[in-house]
């Protein structure tokens, strides 16, 4: 479980950092949740992605500022703990834990829904259990995906997206769908409701999860204070551009979202429409490989976080700090993640992605607020230019994220609120009613090794 951070060499430049961030985001995820977004926004998915992109760019800006302040550490937990207050930092770390624990469930659920669409005679619960069992067994014996494999999978995803755009263009020029390559109705039409767009944008932000992953490579980056902020911004911008473009073409070829047989697997129907059986098979392969690789990494990262917290007595050490003597893996933690993932049997994509986004929005809000706390208040940088950079811009980002947070699915807000309450009660216990400092979470070490 050693991360080897003391031996890391600074070799990374801007381009490989951006590629790493894009691979972490899983470019094809916009297909995976398109149907859910279409239903939530009455078809205005590109607009929802534009709103989400704007919010993420403000947050990316704030991440960049905090990387300059703390070029070694790379989490909202650390930023909040050092810039605002340790107790508040612990609660942000608790929100980060929410994403770690439940992200594998969402990933496997999306993959299972698409497999069920391709093989309708096989119940979705079989695919869910298959994902859970296979991925858990692989992680139990210690086999981890490498950055090279992830890079190849990212290239494959880009090829699938490119093929989709080509097939869509041919289909549109042949008189299918909207019969044109240019239509403003994809972004705005007479029945447009901004409240629906906001609700969709709050779900669309799921596609952006991981855009900040490049912060974990600070110690391997040449001139990280300059390069990392640029990489974060470019990953959010390029990734958001991909999501807007793909959702735009999907709308053009399939403008009536009410005709989807299954909104959870709408992408598969669209792939079959524009490219026939061969492309739908390629598309399915792209989706499943992407979800499998993401799930493998997400489960391993979550289990390692639980181990780090168990090792440091933030969680019971006998359970969460246990390492299998033969496989040298946190077996109980991996099984815990697998058990949590069984919730996928009772949840749909819309609710599960919103639940994940609850934790993400909380962390994004506090990344923005950390800029204000660190630069505007602690460093006292309050001149006209500094006030704009360290107060106005991050405050806009925080408001955007809070706006999207309150527009989440009501079930996600209830579940997320319950999770936050549990974290607060646990913090009271750990700090003996705030009489002691909260224990430090090893979130940064986990991120760096993931």
pLDDT tens digits along 166-179: 999 999 999 888 98
Average pLDDT over residues 233-250: 94
Q: What is the pLDDT of residue 210?
A: 78
- Is residue 141 within 8 A of residue 327, CB to CB? The reply is yes
More confident residue, 335 or 1: 335
Q: How confident is the model at residue 54 (pLDDT cuts 50, 70, 90)?
A: very high
The helix (H) or strand (E) run that includes residue 422 is: helix 410-430
More confident residue, 288 or 23: 288
Q: Show contacts of 350-353: CB within 8 Å, 24+ apart.
A: 350/36, 350/39, 350/40, 350/203, 350/409, 351/409, 351/411, 351/412, 352/102, 352/105, 352/106, 352/109, 353/33, 353/36, 353/106, 353/203, 353/206
- Cα within 13 Å of Cα(151), Cβ side: 9
The angle at the Cα of 373, spanning 370 to 375, to the nearest 5 degrees, equals 100
- Is residue 36 within 8 A of residue 263, CB to CB? The reply is yes
- Is residue 381 within 8 A of residue 374, CB to CB? The reply is no
Nearest to 239 by CA among 146, 161, 353, 298: 161
Average pLDDT over residues 368-372: 96
Give 388-434 pLDDT, tens digit per residue.
Answer: 999 999 999 999 999 999 999 888 899 999 999 999 999 999 888 98
The whole-model pTM stands at 0.85
What is the secondary structure of 139-206 as a DSSP string? Answer: HHTT----HHHHHHHHHHHHHHHHHHHHHHHHHHHTT-TTSSS--GGGT--TT--HHHHHHHHHHHGG
Q: How confident is the model at residue 6 (pLDDT cuts 50, 70, 90)?
A: very low
Q: How confident is the model at residue 234 (pLDDT cuts 50, 70, 90)?
A: very high
* Residue 161 φ then ψ, to 5°: -65, -45
Q: How confident is the model at residue 5 (pLDDT cuts 50, 70, 90)?
A: very low
Q: What is the pLDDT of residue 4?
A: 42
Q: What is the mean pLDDT of the chain?
A: 86
CA distance 219 to 399: 31
- Is residue 211 within 8 A of residue 239, CB to CB? The reply is yes
Give 137-164 pLDDT, tens digit per residue.
Answer: 888 876 554 455 666 777 888 899 999 9
Give 297-356 pLDDT, tens digit per residue.
Answer: 788 878 887 887 787 777 888 888 888 887 777 889 999 999 999 998 988 888 888 888
Q: What is the pLDDT of residue 72?
A: 64
Q: What is the pLDDT of residue 9?
A: 65
Give 196-215 pLDDT, tens digit per residue.
Answer: 899 899 999 999 987 877 77
CA distance 80 to 90: 8
Q: What is the pLDDT of residue 253?
A: 93
Poorest-confidence range of 55-59, 72-76, 310-314, 413-417? 72-76
Q: What is the pLDDT of residue 3?
A: 44
């Amino acid at each position: 479980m050693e991360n080897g951070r003391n031996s890391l060499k600074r070799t990374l430049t801007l381009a490989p950092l951006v590629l790493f961030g894009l691979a972490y985001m899983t470019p094809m995820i916009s297909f995976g949740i398109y149907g859910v977004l279409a239903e939530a926004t009455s078809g205005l998915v590109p607009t929802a992605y534009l709103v989400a992109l704007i919010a993420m760019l403000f947050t990316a800006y704030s991440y960049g500022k905090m990387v300059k302040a703390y070029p070694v550490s790379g989490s909202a937990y650390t930023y909040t703990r050092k810039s605002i207050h340790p107790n508040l930092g612990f609660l942000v770390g608790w929100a980060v834990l929410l994403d770690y624990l439940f992200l594998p469930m969402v990933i496997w659920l999306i993959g299972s829904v698409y497999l069920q669409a391709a093989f309708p005679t096989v119940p979705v619960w079989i695919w869910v259990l298959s994902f859970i069992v296979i991925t858990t067994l692989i992680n139990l014996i210690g086999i981890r995906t490498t950055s090279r494999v992830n890079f190849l999978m990212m290239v494959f995803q880009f090829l699938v997206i490119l093929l989709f755009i080509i097939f869509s263009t041919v289909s549109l020029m042949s008189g299918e769908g909207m019969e044109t390559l240019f239509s403003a109705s994809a972004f705005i039409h007479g029945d447009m409701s901004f409240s629906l767009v906001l609700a969709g944008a709050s779900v669309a932000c799921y596609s952006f999860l991981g855009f900040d992953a490049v912060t974990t490579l600070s110690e391997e980056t040449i001139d990280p204070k300059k390069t990392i902020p640029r990489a974060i911004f470019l990953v959010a911008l390029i990734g958001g551009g991909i999501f807007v473009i793909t959702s735009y073409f999907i709308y053009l070829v399939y403008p009536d979202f009410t005709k989807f047989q299954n909104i959870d697997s709408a992408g598969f129907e669209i792939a079959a429409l524009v490219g026939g059986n061969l492309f739908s098979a390629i598309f399915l392969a792209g989706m499943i490989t992407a979800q499998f690789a993401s799930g493998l990494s997400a489960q391993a990262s979550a289990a390692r976080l639980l181990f780090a917290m168990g090792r440091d007595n933030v969680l019971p050490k006998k359970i969460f700090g246990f390492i299998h003597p033969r496989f040298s893996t946190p077996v109980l933690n991996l099984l815990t993640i697998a058990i949590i993932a069984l919730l996928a049997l009772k949840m749909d994509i819309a609710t599960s992605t919103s639940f994940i986004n609850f934790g993400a929005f909380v962390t994004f809000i506090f990344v923005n607020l950390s800029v204000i706390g660190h630069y505007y208040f602690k460093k006292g940088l309050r001149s006209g230019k500094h006030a704009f950079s360290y107060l106005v811009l991050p405050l806009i980002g925080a408001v955007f994220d809070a706006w999207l947070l309150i527009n989440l699915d009501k079930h996600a807000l209830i579940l997320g609120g319950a999770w936050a309450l549990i974290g607060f009660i646990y913090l009271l216990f750990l700090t003996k009613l705030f009489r002691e400092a909260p224990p430090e979470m090893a979130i940064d070490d986990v991120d760096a090794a993931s």
